[in-house]
Structure 1
Amino acid sequence: MSMNKDLKQLKQAYRQVPIPDKELDQMIQNLSTAKPKKKRHPVRLSLIAAVPVLLAIFLTVVTTNESLARAMSDVPILKNIITVITGKNYQEKNKTTEAHIKTPKLSGLKNPELEKKLNDAYDKTGEALYKEYQLASQNRGEHFYVSSDYKEITNTKKLLVLQFTVQETRASSYTEHTYLVMDKKKMQRIKLADLFKNDHYISLIQANIQEQMKKQTEADPNKIYWDENELKAALSEKNLAKRFYINAKNELVFSFNDYEVAPGYMGTVSFVIPTPLLQNDLKKPSYLK
């Protein structure tokens, strides 16, 4: 098997959203019913109101210490705290190649099986990225940089939103974000369609994103977006379902990867959808405000 073919297969492995949808959704459904005991260039996350400082220190320690995080999850007042720490971590630098790969590891989920399934998915993504880096390192003279990292966008009593980012640089650079949006109380992943009564929301979101694009380009001539025909794939129902998250203000956001809706120099771009626009189509109670 050639090196190019190896790289292609590895890219197919990690470019999948790092959450095994069908298998995971089926598992979650079983748990919930059980009684409790690119477009043009495919180159590529208070305990006491009077002591906020102590709370900040406490959360920092819990987030960075896995054993303590698990111990704290047994304390009744902290049952709903899900922490995110670093899982797989690969750091390597050679003359022409460099890797800084970090993957998230969730701790504190009420169901260990679900926690393991999510963490295993992220671990496999990190492993695939590192294997790609190793193959690139064997190709002498090729300049290659790869990194991955995570970020908690939202972590409240009800919601966890985790962003996972992969960046690659060869002849050009590519950045890709994927999102885990989870209802912490129901212990289930939230899908875009779960927010709405019917599919009327699709046309509302498509129109609003295009309206925002138009206003941005009118205000700033340096901003460019693809035309309406070229945007069809990016704004399709299927792709929108992969590109959404809920921010800390409980607003619906769509984040598009490099080259999906605009030239590469625009990087990743995001659009916040005004909640009042969607109000009549939202299921009650709503995750959005």
Structure 2
Amino acid sequence: MSKLHDSKKQYDNIGIPTELKHVVKDTIRESKGKRKKSMPFKKWGIGMVAAAAIFVASVNVSPALAQTLSSVPVLGSIVQVVTVQEIQVSEDTYNADIKTPNVTGLENEELENILNEKYIAENEALYESFLIEMEALKEAGGGHLGVASTYEVVTDTEEILSISRYEVNLVGSSSTTLRTDTIDKKNEVLITLPSLFKDDAYIEVISSYIKEEMIRQMESDESIVYWIASEEEIGFEAIRPDQTFSITADHKLTISFDKYEVAPGSMGLVTFEIPTDVIQESLVSNVYIK
């Protein structure tokens, strides 16, 4: 599964400076420099049809999907998130179900395009890796392979839009990877974790709180297990500067970890809500976190 694991890293991290008034310009410039050129979406869809026996559902050709999309809530008065394409593969012991989100309605068209091209590139890499792994298994005599990719709008307010994408390996250990983009809908800028704080001191502040919370939860419930680094054991030491995060509807910061990242698989994806008073001194402002 190494190729599938590698594909999870093949997407663009869009940077953002602390000074929010310059964020759009810098985000677009940095992202253009980092992004790899990907195939146009229509071309990718045609290539996939030729590559394997798959079902492609799009907004234009699938009545069932169109009905589903009709129930997708409008985010604010303009912005929407819809499924632009769904790829399904069902071939003996090989299965894939890959859904690609698409953001529409942002006046900042360059940011909208950057996000949508990133979502396409993520699922393009996942699907191509799936095909490679499937062919390798067939040549080796067969096996089981399954992947899924879906998304969820986790926060939808007048101010904030957070879109989480879930990538799941459905066979064996059934690993799950989470990625979330959080957008300031009023100013139409992408918010990153570093942009919320004055400097990188937030890493230690948040990490210390999470360790304390892990210990508290384990002491209160013996079924809960976290891997915390110590002199004797390898485990969680600190969050990454770009750790997966979201902002809730009531303006609280949450930090998330992939399945197996800080705990056994039975714990699944793990999320911690960080009390605002813990990070107050590190915040740039209380515009987003209150």
User: Do the two structures share a fold, i.e. TM-score over 0.5?
Assistant: yes
Structure 1: distance between partners of 2:27 and 2:126: 31
For 2:24, the aligned partner's letter is I
Contact map agreement 1:154 1:248 (CA 8 A) in 2: yes
Equivalent residues of 2:15, 2:27 under 8 A apart: no
Q: Does the Cα contact within 8 Å between 2:148 and 2:170 map onto a contact in 1? A: no
TM alignment of 1:56-205, pairs within 5 A: 64=69, 78=77, 81-138=78-135, 139-140=137-138, 141-205=142-206
Shift of 1:32: 9.1
Distance 1:14 1:30 in 2: 25
Q: Give 1:124 shift.
A: 1.3
Matched, 1:211 2:212: yes
Runs of 5+ consecutive residues of structure 1 not aligned to the other structure: 34-60
Deviation at 1:103, TM superposition (A): 1.3
Identity of aligned residues (%): 34
Structure 2 partner of 1:12:
6
Give the letter aligned to residue 179 of structure 2.
Answer: T
TM-superposed deviation, 1:252: 0.6
CA distance in 1, matches of 2:281, 2:23: 32
Residues 17-56 of structure 1 deviation map (CA, whole Å, 9 limit, x = unaligned): x444259x999316899xxxxxxxxxxxxxxxxxxxxxxx
- Counterpart CA distance in 1 for 2:85 and 2:174 is 23
Q: Which runs of 4+ in 1 moved over 3 A?
A: 30-33
SS at 2:175 equivalent: strand
SS of the counterpart of 1:93? strand
Structure 1 Cα separation of the partners of residues 148 and 193 of structure 2: 28
TM-score (norm 1): 0.74
Partner of 2:266: 265
**Take 1:63 and 1:21, find their aligned partners in 2: how far apart are those partners?**
30
Q: Once superposed, what is the RMSD of the aligned Cα atoms?
A: 3.2
Q: Secondary structure at the match of 2:256?
A: strand
Distance 1:218 1:27, change over 3 A: closer
Conservation of the 8 A alpha-carbon contact between 1:245 and 1:252: yes
Write out per-residue CA displacement over residues 145-201 of structure 1, whole angstroms, 9 at most, x where no aligned residue. Answer: 100001011122221111000000333210010010111222221111221223332
**How far off its partner does 1:240 sit?**
4.6
- In the alignment, the residues of structure 2 paired with residue 30 and residue 204 of structure 1 have an alpha-carbon distance, to the nearest angstrom, of 27
Work out the CA distance in 1 between the residues paired with 2:185 and 2:149: 25
Number of residue-to-residue matches in the alignment? 243
Q: Quick check: 1:158–1:183 contact (8 Å CA) kept in 2?
A: yes
Q: Is the 8 A contact 2:149 2:167 kept in 1?
A: yes
SS in structure 2 opposite 1:118?
helix
CA distance in 2, matches of 1:130, 1:199: 36
Q: Determine if contact 1:225/1:261 at 8 Å carries over to the other structure.
A: yes
1:41 match: none
Which secondary structure does the structure 2 equivalent of 1:197 belong to? coil
